[in-house]
A and B are shown apart, each in its own frame.
Chain A
């Protein structure tokens, strides 16, 4: 798969717009300033991309969902277990420290946040680019960071040694929650998706 510098720039701009919209929706939901910052979008070797994550010993909670339609791909929202409890309090408007242990409500919260992020990207495509994508229901996993991330990239990695990975960091005002949001465009249909994006941006 060859992707030109120009195409990568277009992809980068498109993802930034999606992340800005997702930040706004997410801020409204948790009634607190939230910023999803794009770290990078780049073509990465699967081995290199997973080295740091395979060294992370923390228990994580992740919501994984697929994007179907004109810009197919996969999304993963991942957060350390301890931070998921803090996020649940924020999401439910409970006083800090109310959630003591990870249960089905925490998993539901993470699932819902996955939904919000997926829908935000879908809405951005529909509103700003006149195109449609549909997110699949999120699947929640509790495991090591590396294990969750491998599940996300397994299909892509079966056929390719490299993938396009968008990595973002969440910043929430007055909290130090450490969470990540990854977007992996489907590499098999990327040429087609890029052609559509290029046409939309003209």
Chain B
């Protein structure tokens, strides 16, 4: 039942990334909804769910967005360890919104930089300033806004954040 729900969430998120996200761009960036979903899954469903969801999400998003799934795995891979590391730095057993948000923003920055690098290797020649102002910064803004809104929605629904460390939760 839980796996089916996660599968549905993955399908809906990928469809929204392909059909809805491009409708609301800021400069040259669009929100990275799969990354937001991964952060929410890690925080509210536990790291196991997010660890299992990442390859499925990368495969589905790769198919829908015409990007190699291998690049998406590499793009989103640092999110979970970074979030767990930030949680450990704060010393809490459960993640709060701020470290998760910080990890998602950093991971989003990395993901966009990596995918921009892939585009550059295929012939794109963006200026570094435009890359920063049109892609990386607006992307962080969009991811941050989407994650903050979704986090508040989850809390309003009564969901409690869980530990991000798989050692404690088990795998």
Real binding pair: no
Binding site for A on B (CB under 8 A): none
